[in-house]
Amino acid sequence: MNLSDEIKRLHELHQAGALSDAEFEQAKARVLSQAASSEQPIDLRKRNDSLGETLGNELARLRRSRGDRWLGGVCGGLAVATGVESWVWRLVFALFTLTFGFGLAIYLLLWIFVPEE
């Protein structure tokens, strides 16, 4: 939705009585200030590239844990990298192993290819 469409929609809401005069002015000022603060439209390719770089950086710093480990330290390392508790990762791997059958294979591959701390 572009700026003129947003202001038009606000005007329609104001005319229908859904917005009071003060609410209309506040909403209009907020829309205009957001438009002024965003200098350029968002380029989705640049956004996706930066997202890919961030994900790549996170994966590059992935290490198996020495302290939080039951077998290979994969779940402990994933916990540090993602901020999700290690028991949740253990549960995910167990559920994927029991339901789909490939959780153990993924765990073993991570154990082999992810370096230790």
pLDDT at 88: 93
Compute CA 30 distance to the chain's CA centroid, rounded to the nearest angstrom. 26
- Name residues whose C-beta falls within 8 Å of residue 115's C-beta, 6 or more positions apart in sequence: 63, 64
Give the tens place of pLDDT for each residue, 85-97.
999 999 999 999 9
pLDDT, mean of residues 111-117: 86
Q: Where are the domains of the chain?
A: 3-37, 44-113
Give the tens place of pLDDT for each residue, 41-76.
555 555 555 656 666 676 677 888 888 888 888 898
* Residue 20, token pair as written in the block: 């009071």
Cα dist from 108 to 17, 29, 48, 93, 114, whole Å? 62, 56, 30, 11, 10
pTM (global) more than 0.75: no
